[in-house]
Amino acid sequence: MENTKFLSTLEEFFHDEFIEHINVAHATSHALFMPFQGLLKSCLSSVQAGKKILFFGNGGSAADAQHLATELTVRFKKNRPAIPALALTTDTSTLTAIGNDLGFEQLFARQIEAIGQPGDIAIGISTSGRSQNVILALKAAHEKGLKTVAFTGPYEEDLKSFTDIILAVPSQTTSRIQEMHITLGQMLCGALELSLGLV
């Protein structure tokens, strides 16, 4: 009976999810063009100067970090020269050593300390805007002279003092925020290719 009841509402659930996604996408397109433009300009300047883009985040955001770094280092629209990018979420030896020896909050900050260079771009992804390891990494990047960027949701108070560009998705729903993060990230990849004349 419960399964039948759910199936009877499945179509409504299905369409409601799409409606919310479309509404959030529409609001995001209106709210975030200017910070997105600033992000593209910063990434373009960094790449043209021989610098790199560093992505990091937790959980689904870690997967986004890996996804976007791969789009840049390998290909997005078509085969072209590699764009230097790295996800700080993939080296299990480094991640487990930092977590064990220094604490989980230092997971990304320690890597920024090791490989971040002035002029690099540090992109932290946090749907809540409160992930301590993302916050500490952005602080470390700011102190080292990297350009700092946050992909987040509507809460950005903990990020403002040390983050140069904030793309705050106007939604309270975690899955919608995540959907916009990967959309904005892939738009960045496409826009970088176009700006660099690689497509």
Here the CATH number for the domain that contains residue 107 is 3.40.50.10490
SS3 at position 115:
helix
In 1-131, alpha helices (H): 2-31, 33-48, 60-73, 92-101, 109-115
According to the model, what pLDDT value does residue 2 have? 59
Max CA pair span of the chain: 63
Cα separations in angstroms, 83 against 29, 43, 54, 62, 165 = 26, 10, 12, 19, 21
* The residue to which tokens 């039948």 are assigned: 4
Give the pLDDT band (50/70/90) at residue 64: very high
Domain count, the chain: 1
Strand order of the sheet with strand 165-168?
A: 85-87, 53-57, 121-126, 147-152, 165-168
Question: Which pTM was predicted?
Answer: 0.94
Share of the chain above pLDDT 90, in %: 90
**Distance of alpha carbon 73 from alpha carbon 69, whole angstroms:** 6
The predicted-structure confidence for 82-95, as pLDDT tens digits, reads as follows 999 999 999 999 99
* Domain boundaries, position 32: 2-195
